[in-house]
Structure 1
Amino acid sequence: MTARQAVTLGTVQETLLIPLYGRAVESRKPEPALRDPRAEAIVASIDYDFARFDGMPSLLGSVLRTALFDQWVSEFLTAHPDGTVVEIGTGLNTRYERTDNGRARWFELDLPDVMAVRRSFFADTPRRTSISASVTDPSWLDTVALTAPGPCFFAAEAVLPYLTEDEVHRVVDGIAERFPGSLLALDTTGPGMIDTQDEHDVLAKVEARMQWNCPAPAALTDWHGVASVLDSRTVAELPPPLCDRLPDSLREMLSGLAAQRLPQVEDYRLNLLRLR
């Protein structure tokens, strides 16, 4: 039997293992919301106590978030097949494997300890480049700008809430300054979720804690770098093209969840922004 790979990650970086496991668990279902055999293989090869997350509702939430981000990326690549996709805090995501069109330019950014693990599973290609840096270090923008053709889509999934509001401001403004008119997908959480992290089904099992809360994503247009909010929704209110592809039982569950308008669901939103 092949030995499983140990991983050494920082406090916040450890959270990347949650959506990875969520995709692997979902992918094994007879009718999954998202198929990701690569995530299954990676989970099987890593020495980590993933079982601590078993049965947690937030695993499915992370899968639905990823599925929506995938759809936004696919729609972008349909409109701009030679464009550029930048994965901010890429972790062990496999969005390239799921959505690449064979023409786009991809950049995958994360901290050095994450990239040390990621390089065990993914290799750079002429169209796919890994960047080892913090999102708060503006030098990564120079790397992308040197070879990024066409319009750009930036995906920051489960990353920015772990920064301070000032840091998020600088990141968003920096992207807007270098890549005006680009799209940015990000998740936001309100103060309720920030205040109850210690009781959260998944976050309670790790040490990382979110810092930035955004109770009204529509107000992001007050920021210098944000031109408009193109979409903002909860995981229970997925758009019809995506919802129509989900198993019937899951669609029924999400419909009931949306009707309840639970604070813990309403507090967490997935957003697509157009930058100035």
Structure 2
Amino acid sequence: MGRRRLSLGTTQETLLIPLYGRAVESRKKRPALHDAKAVEMVGSIDYDFAKFDGGRSLLGSVLRTLIFDGWVRAFLARHPGGTVVEIGTGLNTRFERLDNGAVRWFDVDLPDVIDLRRHFFADDERRTMIACSVLDHAWTDVVRESDGPYLIISEAVLLYLSEEDVRTALSLISSSFPGAEVAFDTGSRLMMDFQHQHDSLKKVDAVMTWACDEPRRIEDWGIGLRLRESRTVAEPQVAVRRALPVRYRVMLPALRWFAARKVGSYRLNLFGVHSAPE
């Protein structure tokens, strides 16, 4: 069987970067994570992944993934039978890595991505893929048929929307899932201005548009979100940091010190929904 050719939108192509990052990391002698499925998918997709080789952002994508994983693990430790929704799931394997045998899981992405996912993954009684835009309430109608509590995660997705669309998406989540936890990343104006120098993004046509210099200001939008945690990729949770290979644990303090401005321009945030939008 030949390698699978892709037909993805411009922004959707960016899903291949973290996929490749996990595959590259998995091939290392002592990886920060092991993702055999990512290695399999990279090997079966007809795409020039080699153009991303050597980029430091591949490791950054792995650290980001591990931090989001940490929030999911913490949520499932408190709510083993809760519901997790991954918006803009791409070709992520988070369910495979974190499934506790009881969680109800929804993977949401645009139709072209879900069509690609279905070549590698299948729905079952606890895992459902939904072809839908984050701006469309249809996905919330499906998810609400499952019991809470809810954790909604969106990794490297909202950055590519306008601020107006980000507000719409987050308002939809807040009004649909009172009491939920919501995790997503933000990038500062500095990050937007210098994205053309990003070692991986400069090799695709997608452009990030939403600049957010201070994640806590999202609380002022009046949509019921309250910031609980905000981290950089150099500041993983204690449990995540302890599980990293020694070389990464040694590297993180240096990264925080020598590249503080650059690292700090990109943040991973965990919010809680405390009330419905005003």
Indicate the TM-score class for this superposition, using the shorter chain for normalisation.
over 0.9
Kept after mapping to 1: 8 A contact 2:57/2:199 = yes
Kept after mapping to 2: 8 A contact 1:152/1:183 = yes
- Distance (whole Å) between structure 2 residues aligned to residue 79 and residue 45 of structure 1: 37
Match of 1:26 in 2: 25
- Distance (whole Å) between structure 2 residues aligned to residue 163 and residue 194 of structure 1: 12
- Distance (whole Å) between structure 1 residues aligned to residue 148 and residue 70 of structure 2: 19
**How far off is 1:13 after superposition?**
0.2
* Structure 2 counterparts to residues 3-152 of structure 1, below 5 A: 3-145=2-144, 147-152=145-150
- SS of the residue 2:243 aligns to: coil
Code of the residue aligned with 1:269 in structure 2: it is R
**How far off is 1:224 after superposition?**
2.0
> Could you list the per-position Cα deviations for residues 130-189 of structure 1 after superposition, in whole angstroms to 9, with x for gaps in the alignment?
0001111122111111x2212000010000010000111111111110101101110100
TM-score by length of 2: 0.97
TM-score by length of 1: 0.97
Kept after mapping to 2: 8 A contact 1:236/1:257 = yes
Match of 2:160 among 155, 159, 162: 162
- Distance (whole Å) between structure 1 residues aligned to residue 30 and residue 216 of structure 2: 35
- Distance (whole Å) between structure 1 residues aligned to residue 39 and residue 259 of structure 2: 32
Match of 1:243 in 2: 241
In terms of mean alpha carbon deviation, does 219-228 or 93-102 score higher? 219-228
- Distance (whole Å) between structure 2 residues aligned to residue 210 and residue 152 of structure 1: 27
Sequence identity percentage: 53
RMSD across aligned positions (CA): 0.9
- Distance (whole Å) between structure 2 residues aligned to residue 96 and residue 227 of structure 1: 25
Code of the residue aligned with 1:207 in structure 2: it is D
**How far off is 1:261 after superposition?**
4.3
Aligned residues between the structures: 274
> Could you list the per-position Cα deviations for residues 210-246 of structure 1 after superposition, in whole angstroms to 9, with x for gaps in the alignment?
0101100121211222432111011011121111111
Q: Structure 1 unaligned runs (5+)?
A: none
Are positions 1:256 and 2:254 aligned together?
yes
Kept after mapping to 1: 8 A contact 2:174/2:225 = no
Q: Structure 2 unaligned runs (5+)?
A: none
> Could you list the per-position Cα deviations for residues 12-68 of structure 1 after superposition, in whole angstroms to 9, with x for gaps in the alignment?
000000000000000111111111111011101101000000010000000000001
Match of 2:229 in 1: 231
- SS of the residue 1:175 aligns to: helix
> Could you list the per-position Cα deviations for residues 115-135 of structure 1 after superposition, in whole angstroms to 9, with x for gaps in the alignment?
111000000001111000111
- Distance (whole Å) between structure 2 residues aligned to residue 221 and residue 181 of structure 1: 15
Code of the residue aligned with 2:254 in structure 1: it is G
**How far off is 1:199 after superposition?**
1.4
